[in-house]
């Protein structure tokens, strides 16, 4: 592969590459975008560079000789200059308050480091945090049920001729759902929910005798609608139900989590630089243990998990965790600073 042009300026890479026909594998039917991704990845590895975010292809051409010429722009991983990260002295005592000790140590280690935390790194960390929160919500069936109750209660009010603010419907749905799943309720949850919805609608309107049947039909319609939804749609609906319980939408959540994402991105730079400086590594048996835990958690085989997930982020997390432990284990608590 020939490098026709390469420029690195202000943390950005602009490079034009030419791959020979044997490297492009056009005759084997390789798609251009796949070839560019593979060849650009090889270029980065050979140059010892690391791209942040999604590289942008600005030009691609396939001359008659079967070669591939393309130009890529990418943000590069920032250069990190470590300061003191071992033997940091802090006031907090680890044995008394692990969280305070960890916070103080890492803040000092990060302050001693020289590195630019780019917006792309923060955006990536924020996306990972939101995805993790989404995954946690996925494991809580109550948010799926809350999404059901919000929609059904809204329909019940409509059938009763009541106009209720959406925020009020959501608050009432959460209230009756929590009552339905509490220890105080000895009856079947669904029947309790139907009864509560009837009573709430009756507060605002004179209900017809067949209104319980109308409530049954609302439950049936909701069940049919959920049957047509994809797993992703159901998961997103449950996450939005969760957001309503904390009084936020997704944009508000992102704004609130962004400072934490910036701090986490800075710590990631610290950990990865320490891992490189100390020659830390992650062994295959450690990766196997993580994959086995995931397989057990989601009732899948290890092979299914391995095929479904990109193991590189898991490896990097293990590596960062190891670097974090090294920093914390060398720190001294109960000091004056």
Report the topology of domain 98-116+253-330: Trigger factor, domain 2 (1.10.3120)
Q: What is the mean pLDDT of residues 268-294?
A: 92
Query: Sorting pLDDT into bands at 50, 70 and 90, what band is 291?
Result: confident
- 273 vs 190, residue with greater confidence: 273
Contact 198, 218 (CB under 8 A): no
Query: Sorting pLDDT into bands at 50, 70 and 90, what band is 279?
Result: very high
Query: Sorting pLDDT into bands at 50, 70 and 90, what band is 217?
Result: very high
Separation CA 217–CA 210 (nearest Å):
11
Is residue 147 pLDDT above 60, yes or no? yes
Is residue 29 pLDDT above 70, yes or no? no
Separation CA 5–CA 8 (nearest Å):
10
Query: Sorting pLDDT into bands at 50, 70 and 90, what band is 22?
Result: confident
pLDDT, averaged across the chain: 90
Nearest residue to 44 (alpha-carbon basis) of 85, 23, 74, 68: 74
What does the pLDDT look like over 124-137, one tens digit per residue?
999 999 999 998 99
Query: Sorting pLDDT into bands at 50, 70 and 90, what band is 306?
Result: confident
> Could you identify the residue written with the tokens 């090889």?
42
Q: How far is CA 51 from CA 5, 14, 43, 47, in A?
A: 17, 11, 11, 11
Query: Sorting pLDDT into bands at 50, 70 and 90, what band is 310?
Result: confident
> What are the residue ranges of CATH 3.30.70.1050 in the chain?
2-76
* pLDDT, position 187: 52
* pLDDT, position 99: 95
So what CATH class is 2-76? Answer: alpha beta
Separation CA 289–CA 98 (nearest Å):
26
* pLDDT, position 27: 52
- 76 vs 305, residue with greater confidence: 76
Query: Sorting pLDDT into bands at 50, 70 and 90, what band is 35?
Result: confident
Q: What is the model's pTM?
A: 0.79
Share of residues in the chain with pLDDT > 70 (%): 96
What does the pLDDT look like over 51-63, one tens digit per residue?
988 899 999 988 8
* pLDDT, position 98: 95
> What are the residue ranges of CATH 1.10.3120.10 in the chain?
98-116+253-330
Is residue 28 pLDDT above 70, yes or no? no
* pLDDT, position 186: 53
7 token code pair: 């420029």
Is residue 218 pLDDT above 60, yes or no? yes
Is residue 293 pLDDT above 90, yes or no? no
Separation CA 305–CA 291 (nearest Å):
7
* pLDDT, position 24: 78
Separation CA 52–CA 35 (nearest Å):
19
């Amino acid at each position: 592969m020939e490098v026709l042009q390469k420029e690195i300026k202000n943390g950005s890479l602009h490079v034009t590459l030419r791959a020979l026909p044997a490297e492009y594998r056009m005759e084997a039917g390789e798609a251009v975008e796949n070839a560019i991704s593979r060849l650009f990845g090889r270029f980065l590895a050979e140059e010892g560079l690391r791209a942040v975010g999604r590289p942008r292809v600005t030009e691609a051409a396939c001359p008659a000789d079967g070669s591939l010429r393309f130009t890529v722009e990418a943000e590069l991983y920032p250069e990190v200059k470590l300061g003191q990260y071992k033997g940091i002295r802090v006031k907090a005592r680890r044995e008394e308050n692990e969280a305070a000790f960890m916070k103080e140590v890492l803040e000092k280690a990060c302050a001693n480091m020289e590195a630019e935390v780019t917006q792309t790194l923060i955006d990536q960390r924020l996306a990972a945090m939101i995805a993790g929160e989404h995954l946690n919500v996925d494991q809580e069936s109550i948010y799926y049920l809350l999404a059901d109750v919000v929609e059904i209660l809204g329909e019940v009010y409509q059938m009763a001729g009541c106009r209720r603010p959406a925020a009020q419907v959501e608050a009432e749905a959460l209230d009756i759902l929590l009552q339905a799943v509490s220890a105080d309720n000895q009856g079947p949850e669904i029947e309790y929910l139907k009864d509560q919805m009837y009573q709430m609608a009756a507060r605002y309107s004179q209900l017809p005798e067949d209104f319980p049947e109308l409530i049954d039909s609302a439950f049936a319609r909701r069940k049919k609608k959920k049957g047509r939804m994809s797993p992703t749609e159901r998961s997103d609906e449950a996450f939005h139900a969760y957001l309503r319980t904390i009084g936020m939408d997704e944009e508000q959540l992102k704004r609130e989590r962004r400072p934490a994402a910036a701090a986490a991105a800075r710590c990631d730079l610290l950990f990865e630089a320490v891992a490189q400086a100390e020659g830390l590594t992650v062994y295959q048996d450690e990766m196997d243990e993580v994959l086995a835990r995931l397989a057990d958690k989601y009732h899948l085989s290890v092979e299914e998990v391995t095929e479904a997930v990109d193991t590189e982020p898991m490896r990097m997390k293990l590596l960062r965790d190891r670097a974090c432990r090294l920093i914390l284990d060398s720190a001294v608590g109960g000091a004056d600073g």
